[in-house]
A and B are shown apart, each in its own frame.
Chain A
Amino acid sequence: MSSTLDVPSRERSHDEAPGATGRAAPRGRKWWTARLTPYLFLAPWFAGLLFITAGPIAASAYLSFTDYSLIGAPEWIGLANFERMFDDPRFYQSLKVTFIYVAVSVPIQLAFALFLAMILDRGLRGLALYRSIYYLPSLIGGSVAIAILWRQIFGSDGLLNQVLRFVGFENPPGWVSDPDYALGTLIILNVWTFGAPMVIFLAGLRQIPTMYYEAASLDGAGKVRQFLQVTLPLLSPIIFFNLVLQTINAFQTFTQAFIVSGGTGGPADSTLFYTLYLYQRGFGNFDMGYASALAWFLLLIVGGLTAINFFASKYWVFYGD
């Protein structure tokens, strides 16, 4: 900068005297700085993409065709992992458990979220307090402490059975130790965390102009009609958003099942979530090749479900005009 009066270097001429010579000057330092700046800002992110997210996806694609136990080099075995997967009863069991969990808990959770958001949206006093209380479980629902609590509450001598015996049930089931009910307790846990989608619904409900309701009510629409024909269509993008997010979240459930079943996925594999099975294969048996095949299949399922959600949304989500 201080040498501007000295010999005018070619580099500078481009930026400081554009077109002065009428000739295309070589690209100067400033030009390069301007080009490079975005990549400097993005450098950590690109490194993360390479080493932590996208790179490992590619690496696990390769590993899924190998036999690898962290010792020695991965050995190429072609499609053997996938053949084994489709012969593996525990793989099917884990898929079944996860699908039941997602298909049952997500709709119930969203229904609760919408119901409470609509009650809260009436401009009640104490809205902020109610919202905080209902939201709180979402923050801690995935923690080990809560999973431990669940294990006690739904244990054979736990809180729930104490209450049930008190009101006269002689032999209540052992919930978490009963294959018929263990998954149900985890579904309840997920429903319990409806606060996060509720807050999103609440924000969405507030965007619906009051005049729509006034117009509908002038036309003689009752509350139910108003809900079906004003609220639902106008809220559909948000319902969709919550559906996609909660589905993806539910697919990743791990901690709750791990703690409640003591890491086994039991009783009788009834809480063997897909992620738990993947963990057992990869980090219990160090069967990295097979675990990678499972991981890739999970990616396909989550991607596929999200794609189906987006495709189906064309038929029910209303984006205005």
Chain B
Amino acid sequence: MRNLWIFISRYNAFFFFIIFFIVGIVLTVKNNAYQHSIAINSTNQIVGDVYNNLNVVKKYINLGVANDSLAAENAKLKTEILAIKSVDTTRDITVKDTTGTPVYTYLAARVIKNSITLRNNIITINKGRIDGIESGMPVISPVKGVVGYIRDVSEHLATIESLLHQKTYVSVSIKKNNAVGSLVWGERNFDYRKAYIKDIPNHFKVNLRDTVVTSTYSKFPAGIPVGSVSNTGIATGGNFMTLEINLFNDFSTLQYVYVIKDKFAKEQQELEAKIPDEQ
């Protein structure tokens, strides 16, 4: 017993290393699991405050870009209003269900932390549970397409699993022929301006610069622009092709995002949960 004790204290560096390292690994594995139970991340109040208050410089530098995108969106909304006003029935234009209330509602939020340099990127926004945000809600950016899904929510803050994350998949389709595939990032490159679309059947004709939009299967409203095809010649060797696209969304200058609340999301989830898992 005494010898054992001497042995352990002689090599204490190694044993401490084992203990602390295992704790670190366990934390990593827990964080990678679907449920994130430990709140040491940027939804934490202190961490959120630091990002909220100290990012003044970045906010100021990107003011011009933010202004431009807001102005562009204003213009788009104005033309839509004009279109609605000139047509007699407004009912056909907005997305409505049969009872006449909108299916999707949008909540604007400001990005207080963003990253594009990591393997798995997380965005933090300044809206939280109080504003009705729940885990899994889709997020888009003004005018320019998808951003990701809500991950963790605290009272006043929420994190988004950015599209630049290895677990984020979005169902997208080619606008002209509705060929459906899934959008992934970071399989081959880590350029935040590009992404890949996988699992599009080989018989579809796809050209460069074809527009890619969210499909009707995705959690997003259908038809949100995502990017344009930039490379069709990636060899896969299977029955499906992989396309490279240029994302419309510039993640490096993201300032404001819209969180989408889908009125039927819960109902759809419950209905689909009844299907037995056959995989």
Are the chains A and B members of one assembly? no
